[in-house]
Each structure stands twice: as structure tokens, then as C-alpha cells.
Chain A
Amino acid sequence: MSIWEYANPRKFMQTSAWALPWVAGLAVVTLLTGLVWGFFFTVDDYRQGATVKILFVHVPAALMAVNSWLMMLVCSLIWLIRRHHVSALAAKAAAPVGVTMTLIALFTGAIWGQPMWGTWWAWDPRLTSFLILFLFYLGYIALWEAIEDPDTAADLTSVLCLVGSIFALLSRYAVNFWNQGLHQGASLSLAPGERMAMAFKLPLYVAMAGFVLLFVTLVLIRTRTEIRARRLRALEARGRMA
């Protein structure tokens, strides 16, 4: 076993151990600020009433659901090209966080849709895309769980992530083609027309930052757990050989 086996993970463990309390603290503060601001100190929208408050969890969760997959894609690429173990483990660590974010986006969307659109669920392109994203996450996690050898699992899940990304993108366009939806346009787009008032935008930005920091915190902790699990397995293997 060469020193390089642990070189990068060790550095990662040191750096993340130092950074983790700061990121976690910042995440808690930002998240609480954003959500408390959004929940208690925003006025009701003239059309949506108090349900506009759901926005402050729905939009950041949806954002992180997609970004988490993007991060997994980047990590998979790094693993395939550079064989950087931490990268593969970070991708593994991000998947359950992404699933939770997707679920939050779906649930809050359904709860919001019931009074606003008069239905819990519509086969609207955006909703459908998130449901499909959820299925892709499930497959990815299931493949990680199914394979025992960690390097094989990392390789296969990375390939799945690449191919899955292509097909997830294809599905996005196919679903758009298949059904024109009733979902609001991009909440923060710069296009005139459906723009949000500053009173809603500011707490939303804070809540988004909170979700990003929460995601980073959780992924850091989970990656550390995975690195420890890997070291544990390596030590056990060494113990058996001795």
C-alpha cells in the first residue's frame, strides 16, 4: 500500500475538519435567517396570498436538487479522468442529499399546487422532470449499494451518471415537447413580465444561500464518513492478511 493511497484523502480530512465548523455554523445562521424572514416578515402576495411563503423552501430545494446532480456529474468526471478517490466518494455522499432536496421540491410543490392550481399533481413539464430526476437518483444510489468493491462501484456509477445526465437532459426536452405546462416561468429570470418584487427576492436569496451551505455541510460530513469507511475497509483487509 503506497502513501499515495491516503495522501489526498488525508489532506481532505485535515482541511474539511478545519472548515466544517465554520461552514456548518454559517449554514445554520443563513438558513434560519432566510426561512424566518420568509416565514414571518414577508407580506402576502396579492394573487397567491400566504402560499407565497412556500416559495422560500420550494425554490432553493429545487435549485439544490439540480445542482446536486451537476456536482455528482463533475465529481464523476474527475474520478474517471484523474482517479481521485475523494471525488468519487463526494459524488456518493451527495446523492442522498440530492434525493431529499428533490423530495422537498416535489412535496412543497404539490402542497402549493393544491390551493393554487386546484390539483396536487399535474403532468406539467417541470413537475414531471423532477419526478424523472428522482428516478435517476434512485437508480444511481441503488447501483452504489449493489456493488461491494468500492472502486468498481465508483467506476460504474460514474459511467451511469454521465449517461444518465445525457438522458435526463433528453427527458427534459422530451417532456417539454410532450405537454405544455402551467408552471410559473423561471422565478428569477430577468425577462420582463413575471418579475418578483424585491421584498420577496431578498429573503429568497438568503434562503438559497442557506440551502447551498446546508448542502456543502452535509456533503462534507458524508464524504468524511465515506473516507473513514474506506480506511476501515482497507485496515480490515490488512488485518486479515497479517
Chain B
Amino acid sequence: MVELGKYAGPVLAAYGVSLGLVLALVWLTLWKSRKMRRKLETLEREMGLHG
């Protein structure tokens, strides 16, 4: 494990906050994308369209 000395708290907190925010954003983006794709596919099937 890497030696962080007396600044372990701030460094880990900074990386933690950043990773948390990025992961939240990625998850939200993927979730919305999947939801929208499913909705559109359902509707296109109902209306007898393809593509």
C-alpha cells in the first residue's frame, strides 16, 4: 500500500469524493440512456416501425 503519511485523510477523501461523483454521474447517464432506449423500442414496436 502506498505511504500517504499525515495527509492520508485529505488525499483519500479527495479521491473518494471525486470517484463517488464520477460514478454517480456515469450511473445516472447509463440508467437514463437504458430507460429511454427501452421506452423508444416499445413505442416503435407498438407503432409497427423498425429503426
Contacts and interface: CB of A to CB of B under 8 A. Distances in A.
The answer to whether any beta carbons of A and B sit under 8 Å apart in the complex is: yes
Interface of A: 35, 39-40, 44, 49-51, 53-54, 57-58, 61, 96-97, 100, 103-104, 107-108, 111-112, 114-115, 214, 218, 221-222, 224-225, 228-229, 231-232, 235-236, 239
| Contact size range, B | 20 to 34
B22 A49 contact: no
Contacts of B3: 50
B29 A104 contact: no
Interface of B: 2-8, 10-11, 13-15, 17-18, 21-22, 24-26, 28-30, 32-33, 36-37, 39-40, 43-44, 47, 49
Top 8 closest A-B pairs, CB basis? A50-B7, A54-B14, A50-B4, A57-B18, A108-B14, A111-B14, A225-B33, A228-B36
Contacts of A112: 10, 14
A79 to B, nearest CB: 21
A107 B14 contact: yes
B40 A228 contact: yes
Given A39-B2, A114-B10, A104 B33 contact: no
Contacts of B25: 96-97, 100, 218
Nearest to A211: B22
Contact of B17 (A104, A236, A239): A104
Contacts of A103: 21
A171 to B, nearest CB: 24
B44 to A, nearest CB: 7
